[in-house]
Amino acid sequence: MPKIRAGLLVSAIVVALALGIGVYAGADETPSTAQGLAAWGQVYSVLTHPRCINCHTATNYPQQGDDRHRHVANVVRGPEGKGVPGLNCAGCHQETNADSTGVPGGHNWHLAPLEMRWQDINDRPLSSAAVCRQVTDRSRNHNLDGPGLLKHHEEEALVKWAWNPGIRPDGSKRTLPPMSHEEFVAATRRWVEAGTPCPK
Amino acid sequence: MATYQINVNGERREVNVHPSTPLLWVLREDLKMTGTKFGCGISACGACTVHLGGVATRSCIVPISHVGDRAIVTIEGIGQDSVGRAVQDAWVEEDVVQCGYCQSGQIMAAVALLKHTPKPTEQNIEESMGGNLCRCGTYPRIRAAIKNAAAKGGA
Amino acid sequence: MASAELSRRGFLHVSFAAAGGLVVSLYLDPRSVVEAQEAPLPPQQPKVYPPAAFVNIRPDGKIVIQVNRLEFGQGVQTSLPMVLADELDADWTNVIAELALAADVYKDPMFGIQMVGGSGSIAHSFQQYRELGAKTRAMLVAAAADRWSTTPDQCRTEASVVHGPNGKSATYAELASDAARKPVPATVRLKNPTEFRLVGKKVKRLDSAAKCNGSLKFGLDLDLPGMKVAVVAHPPVFGGRVKRIVDDEARRIEGVRDVFEIPLAKGTGVAVVADKFWPAKQARNLLKIDWDVTGVEPADSSELWTKYRQLGQTVGNVAVSNGDASALDKIGAANRIAAEYEFPYLPHTPMEPLNTTVRFDGDRAEAWAGSQFQTGDQMAVAEVLGLKPEQVTFHTEMAGGGFGRRAVTDSHIQREAAVIAKRLRGTPVKLIWTREDDVQGGYYRPMHFHRVEVGVGPNGLPAAWRHVVVGQSLLIGTPFEAFAVKNGVDQTAVEGASDTHYNIPNLHVSVHHPKVNVPVLWWRSVGHTHTAFVMETLIDELASRAKIDPIAYRRQLLKPEAKKLLRPLDLLEKAIAGWRNRLPRGHALGISCHESFGTGVACAVDVSIENKRPRIHRATIAVDCGLAVNPLSVESQFQAGLSFGLSQLMAKGAITLKNGVVEQRNFDGYVPPYIVDAPVAVDVHIVPSTEAPTGCGEPPVPVISPAVVNALARLTGKRYRTLPLVNI
């Protein structure tokens, strides 16, 4: 082989190796705790948005609206978070949004269990630290680990509903969480990869 | 406009309406079944309560496009059910009604309760009936009638 | 009213119905004379009686009784027929009750118009229906006596049968045709109360079954061949006018027939007519309307409160001034209490949304409405259509509640419907007000401000009482003004205070009636809704101050002639003896008493605080309504009426306005009592009486709010003077 072509070949191999090492290093680049906490902050901003927190109550009832007032018609949690006979959640909330009448819908509409309450009994959102602790407590979160939480955020129908929340009775669109679903999932991923750190 | 086949009180009915039309108005105006009442249109009062697929449902906010083939039972048909009949009889025996406009919905809610909980506690009654508005205020007699129906059985 | 008087004031008119039944009527208007209408009814014409018919004994034995006022929950459709049937000795199981058409003969004997209100159904028509029944019976007996060649005193009646001597008998149905030919007696013996078979007994409602199986039709349920449905877009500020309509999108909704501007009682609006309700509503949502609100006052609640509070510091038009108007000023500050109260606008929101159906045929018209004011509404429809009232057949439909909302002197709903029907000549049009239209549409119980200064005497009883009321007048500018407004005082704003039955020396009550651009209307129990609250909470406060039992204090302070309050107080005291001193911890007793519309009521409640709201475990009521015609109906009215009265305490129980616009839209913004807000149990005790019956429609309402708040005061030590109760 002539010297120049050999030199080019070596360079190409070096470059290829470097690129490969570089990519490998990117995949392996764990977010720092600081990055994880920042990501959690983004996740928390979604969890406490009305589209999510209205069903993560500490009380006997859900909330509705951006002002998070108590849900009309005195609907209550019931033993399984699905309401009570005569007033089941699914009685009004169908499988999909009813835009002509302004009632949101999604599969298996129900309240989040009390273990996943993100408010206090006075309907005030809990702190970022408190919610983070709850969400990562496997004795309360239905035994979800980090990847489990990520999958929940990515795939659960009622979670995804928050980004397709339908039309209000007055014809206006319900407001969306502060970032897209993709961004929410990406933030969750960064937080999980950082080891689900929680603020103090 | 679209054509829908729906199951109402055991009968197959066909209607031709706009998909956005709430079930309440299909029942009242297309099927001429006016027993189910319009009270508010925002599911706050319960006057429009029917049973849809066995679940007490506020028909003013369910568009006909969402109904599918689930069985619909209205106040006109609830008497064919033994619990329904017991509740209607109890309502008459306890002289519950005043203006009566809310009572179709009250009865449908009470039947849903008793089918699930044949011997309801005071709290069960309050929670299940808690979203049915009666402007006349017949609530004390509604409680008595539910207890009457529960005592007589019928389930 | 004695029977002898009857012959001076009117006469009984008898005619045949086409099917050969006996039709008896009673006309009581002293102002004009009825022309006999002997024309037979065409067989096909349904439900159209000659203008003067109350009792129709059909050949099949059914007895159809016409009720001269609306049934909207109060039970009149059962109790007035009961009265007639009792005197008639009719078989109650064969009685059918119908709501009468609008006609002169059905006017309220006291008020001279066909109406329901003022808790007057029984009070005004008890005697009337007794005589109708008794005279019909007399004619049947006369016919039987003729048939058997005997005399009426040899006959007796029972369960729609006349029994004669020697075992002879004949049914009313058999005798009806002959009886119709008999002269109507000028006077007739009425039953001795001991002879009553129905009156005074607990009689179940006639309309229960049909209201429990979906078969009973309300006005909103009406369906006529070719009928269209209309909704109206109303201005966002009362009195606004349409400037510009963009309706192309609205007209594209399938089923929409027409969109056009219409005059309203004040201002103008836009009507949408469609084949059915849903397309009409959808189309209205798509209308783009520019409104002209220049020149109309934009009422604003917080501005009004400032103005009302200011007015309340000065004496207004004097309603009553007893004794020494300056007595209060001579009482030292340590023995004076000043209290200011605020009451918001209240909507009625009956369960059945407001509606009226009209068909205009050029020279005639037909209207259907659950109307509390048939005479006025019929006249209004006629006026809009350019007809005489008698050219409008006005049907009274069963109504889903009213509470005063269906008794409107400007007949605005009926006028809207008639205007639309006029344009769609030949086609029946059902006008529907949605719940949003209702909540935002005005005709509220007016907001009121009260300022009271009380001087307390050495015995703890009031020694002087200066009371200023501020609130819009209901009746100034209406046909009723002459009856109830004197010296600038609308009685309906001060009733319950200026005419209090408490023996308060040096009582001075005055009122200011500001003009506000918000339509107002009577709300079940009218002035008593706010005056009773003020009186009964202040009296309670005085009792507490004097360390006197609240019942004993009231007994001491009431005038000795206030029997209709003293008797219930005594009965109440006995009725609660078993529980008043055995209340669990965290519960308190609340007492009130108030007389309205001739009926005296005493109330006791057992209240605790749960989830930051009053929880009423029990209410005990004692009532003196004279003879209780149907004690079951009285019991129901009180059990349910208390729950209605609690509307005033609900946290979201008010209408507020901001820059002329009503802030509430539906039952999400205005929230009435649900089952959890109502008393769990109510026991009702009726003072035994043979005095003339007085009504029970409104009397339950004034007593409950002060009783509950008096109990709360014991629990929290606070005084609640601003309604609704938002924070306890």
Residue from the list B19, B46, B112 with its beta carbon closest to the beta carbon of A85: B112
Q: Is the pLDDT of residue C52 over 50?
A: no
Contact call for residues C278 and C239 (beta carbons, < 8 A): no
Beta bridge partners, A87, equal A84
Q: Do A103 and B66 touch (CB under 8 A)?
A: no
Asked if B124 has any chain A CB less than 8 Å from its own CB, the reply is yes
**Containing structural domain, residue C288:** 219-295+354-432
pLDDT band at C17 (very low <50, low <70, confident <90, very high): very low
Digit-coded pLDDT (tens) for A173-182: 999 999 999 9
Token pair recorded at residue C637: 């009215």
Q: Which letter, b or e, does each residue of A80-89 get, where b requires 16 or more Cβ atoms within 10 Å of its Cβ?
A: ebbbbbbbbb
Pairs across A and B, CB distance < 8 A: 85
Asked if C483 has any chain A CB less than 8 Å from its own CB, the reply is no
| Chain B residue whose CA is closest to A103 | B61
How deeply is C362 buried, as exposed, middle or buried, from its count of CB atoms within 10 A (0-12, 13-18, 19+)?
A: exposed
pLDDT band at C13 (very low <50, low <70, confident <90, very high): very low
Digit-coded pLDDT (tens) for C86-133: 999 999 999 999 999 999 889 988 888 999 999 999 999 999 899 899
Q: Do A92 and B57 touch (CB under 8 A)?
A: yes
Alpha helices in C252-410, H assignment, sequence order: 277-286, 301-311, 374-385
Which of C389, C407, C432 terminates a domain? The answer is C432
Q: Is the pLDDT of residue A158 over 60?
A: yes
**Residues C198-218, mean pLDDT to the nearest whole number:** 98
Same domain flag for B49 and B87: no
Residues 6+ apart with CB under 8 A from C699: C119, C525, C594, C595, C596, C597, C599, C600, C601, C623, C625, C641
**Residues C413-432, mean pLDDT to the nearest whole number:** 98
Same domain flag for B93 and B108: yes
Residue from the list B61, B124, B131 with its beta carbon closest to the beta carbon of A98: B61
Closest CA to C92 of C201, C165, C176: C201
> How large is the angle between the packed helices A33-47 and A128-136, nearest 10 degrees?
100
Chain C residue numbers touching B130 (CB-CB < 8 A): 674-676
The answer to whether residue C696 is domain-embedded is yes
What is the percentage of chain C residues whose pLDDT exceeds 70? 93
Q: Do A73 and B62 touch (CB under 8 A)?
A: no
Same domain flag for C245 and C173: no
What does the pLDDT read at residue C183?
83
Give CA separation, C716 vs C301, C615, C698, in Å.
Answer: 29, 14, 30
Residue from the list B1, B107, B141 with its beta carbon closest to the beta carbon of C212: B107
Same domain flag for B51 and B84: no
Which of C395, C412, C432 terminates a domain? The answer is C432
Q: What is the residue-averaged pLDDT of chain C?
A: 92
Q: Is the pLDDT of residue B66 over 60?
A: yes
Same domain flag for B121 and B138: yes
The answer to whether residue C208 is domain-embedded is yes
Give the integer Cα–Cα distance in Å for C319 and B103.
43
What does the pLDDT read at residue C186?
77
Chain A residue numbers touching B45 (CB-CB < 8 A): 73
pTM for this prediction: 0.92
Same domain flag for B57 and B110: no
What does the pLDDT read at residue C184?
82
Same domain flag for C205 and C223: no
Chain A residue numbers touching B58 (CB-CB < 8 A): 91-92
What does the pLDDT read at residue B19?
97
Same domain flag for C320 and C263: no
* CATH number of the domain to which C103 belongs: 3.30.365.10
Digit-coded pLDDT (tens) for C301-339: 999 999 999 999 999 999 999 999 899 999 999 999 999
Asked if B55 has any chain A CB less than 8 Å from its own CB, the reply is yes
Give the integer Cα–Cα distance in Å for C355 and C448.
29
Chain B residue numbers touching A111 (CB-CB < 8 A): none
Beta bridge partners, C604, equal C591, C620
Same domain flag for B68 and B82: no
The answer to whether residue C14 is domain-embedded is yes
Residue from the list B34, B42, B96 with its beta carbon closest to the beta carbon of C666: B42
Pairs across A and C, CB distance < 8 A: 5
Residue from the list C285, C668, C676 with its beta carbon closest to the beta carbon of A74: C676
Which of B57, B73, B89 terminates a domain? The answer is B73
Please tell me the distance in Å from C651's CA to the nearest CA on chain A: 12
pLDDT band at A9 (very low <50, low <70, confident <90, very high): low
Same domain flag for C681 and C631: yes
Pairs across B and C, CB distance < 8 A: 187
Residue from the list C285, C667, C676 with its beta carbon closest to the beta carbon of A72: C667
Same domain flag for C242 and C140: no
Write down which chains contact chain C via at least 3 CB pairs under 8 A.
Answer: A, B
How deeply is A10 buried, as exposed, middle or buried, from its count of CB atoms within 10 A (0-12, 13-18, 19+)?
A: exposed
Phi-psi region of C361 (alpha: psi -120 to 50; beta: other; left: phi over 0): alpha
pLDDT band at C505 (very low <50, low <70, confident <90, very high): very high
Please tell me the distance in Å from A131's CA to the nearest CA on chain C: 25
| Chain A residue whose CA is closest to C676 | A74
Same domain flag for B67 and B92: no
Q: Do C285 and A171 touch (CB under 8 A)?
A: yes
Asked if B7 has any chain C CB less than 8 Å from its own CB, the reply is no
Asked if A84 has any chain B CB less than 8 Å from its own CB, the reply is yes
Same domain flag for C516 and C378: no
Please tell me the distance in Å from B64's CA to the nearest CA on chain A: 10
Same domain flag for B60 and B118: no
Asked if A25 has any chain C CB less than 8 Å from its own CB, the reply is no
Give the integer Cα–Cα distance in Å for B100 and C218.
9
Same domain flag for B66 and B131: no
Q: Do C349 and B135 touch (CB under 8 A)?
A: yes
Domain count for chain B: 2
Contact call for residues C378 and C425 (beta carbons, < 8 A): no
Q: Is the pLDDT of residue C208 over 90?
A: yes
**Complex ipTM tops 0.95:** yes
Q: Is the pLDDT of residue C403 over 50?
A: yes
Q: Do B135 and C644 touch (CB under 8 A)?
A: yes
Same domain flag for C407 and C482: no
Contact call for residues C115 and C102 (beta carbons, < 8 A): no
| Chain C residue whose CA is closest to A172 | C285
List, in sequence order, every beta strand (DSSP E) within C254-386. Answer: 256-263, 268-274, 288-292, 317-321, 336-343, 355-360, 365-369
* CATH number of the domain to which B88 belongs: 1.10.150.120
Which of B40, B55, B73 terminates a domain? The answer is B73
Q: Is the pLDDT of residue C36 over 60?
A: no
Give CA separation, C260 vs C245, C528, C541, in Å.
Answer: 9, 42, 57
Chain C residue numbers touching B141 (CB-CB < 8 A): 636, 639-640
What does the pLDDT read at residue A6?
58
pLDDT band at C11 (very low <50, low <70, confident <90, very high): very low
The answer to whether residue C567 is domain-embedded is yes
| Chain C residue whose CA is closest to A59 | C611
Residue from the list A73, A76, A90 with its beta carbon closest to the beta carbon of B55: A90
Same domain flag for B126 and B63: no
DSSP 3-state percent helix, strand, coil across chain A (nearest 5): 45, 5, 50
> How large is the angle between the packed helices B103-116 and B82-93, nearest 10 degrees?
130
Q: Do C674 and A74 touch (CB under 8 A)?
A: yes
Q: Is the pLDDT of residue A22 over 50?
A: no
What does the pLDDT read at residue C8?
30
Give CA separation, C422 vs C2, C231, C234, C364, in Å.
Answer: 46, 15, 19, 11
Residue from the list A72, A78, A94 with its beta carbon closest to the beta carbon of B66: A94
Residues 6+ apart with CB under 8 A from B90: B145, B146, B148, B149, B152
Same domain flag for B141 and B103: yes
**Residues C1-30, mean pLDDT to the nearest whole number:** 35
pLDDT band at B70 (very low <50, low <70, confident <90, very high): very high
Chain B residue numbers touching A72 (CB-CB < 8 A): 42-44, 131
Chain B residue numbers touching C121 (CB-CB < 8 A): none
Same domain flag for B145 and B84: yes
The answer to whether residue C725 is domain-embedded is no
Q: Is the pLDDT of residue C21 over 80?
A: no
Same domain flag for C375 and C332: no
Chain A residue numbers touching C668 (CB-CB < 8 A): 72
Please tell me the distance in Å from C623's CA to the nearest CA on chain A: 33
What does the pLDDT read at residue C43?
36
Give the integer Cα–Cα distance in Å for C81 and C120.
15
Q: Is the pLDDT of residue A167 over 80?
A: yes
Chain A residue numbers touching C676 (CB-CB < 8 A): 74
What does the pLDDT read at residue C449?
98
What does the pLDDT read at residue A28?
59
The answer to whether residue C302 is domain-embedded is no
What does the pLDDT read at residue A132?
97
**Containing structural domain, residue B7:** 2-73
- For C432, phi then psi, to 5°, come to -120, 130
Same domain flag for C337 and C419: no
Which of B50, B73, B96 terminates a domain? The answer is B73
Please tell me the distance in Å from B71's CA to the nearest CA on chain C: 19
What is the DSSP code (8-state) at residue A48? T
Q: Do B79 and C399 touch (CB under 8 A)?
A: no
Give CA separation, C39 vs C22, C36, C51, C64, in Å.
Answer: 14, 9, 11, 20
Asked if B90 has any chain A CB less than 8 Å from its own CB, the reply is no
Same domain flag for C367 and C480: no
Write down which chains contact chain A via at least 3 CB pairs under 8 A.
Answer: B, C
Digit-coded pLDDT (tens) for C534-589: 999 999 999 999 999 999 999 999 999 999 999 999 999 999 999 999 999 999 99
Same domain flag for C187 and C229: no
Which of C159, C179, C212 terminates a domain? The answer is C212
Q: Give the other-Cβ count within 10 Å of C546's Cβ.
A: 15
Same domain flag for C396 and C501: no
Chain B residue numbers touching A97 (CB-CB < 8 A): none
